[in-house]
Amino acid sequence: MPTLALSVSELEAGSWVMFELPGFTTAASGTAQDSLDALRNAGATSYYKGNGSLWVKVVSTGDILGSGPGKGPGAGDSLQVSR
């Protein structure tokens, strides 16, 4: 798979998820960090490339799925990565 879309929804604002993606090299958005420690401390969606992996931290803005007729998912937080 040359690309992968990552997304989070229904998380409280400021909550985050971090992924290690071996073999992936590029994130389409987010802020580049210069170390894994800097990535852990980042307060916004970010990425770090090192040791043969792309590390991605997706931080929630608190957008949640809509409810009721005609309501779709909220914007959520997403990021696309590629090999």
pLDDT at 74 > cutoff 60: no
Burial of 4 (0-12, 13-18, 19+ CB in 10 A): middle
pLDDT of residue 68: 47
Entry pTM? 0.78
Q: What's residue 7's pLDDT?
A: 79
pLDDT value, residue 14: 84
Which residues make Cβ contacts (< 8 Å) with residue 67, sequence separation at least 6? none
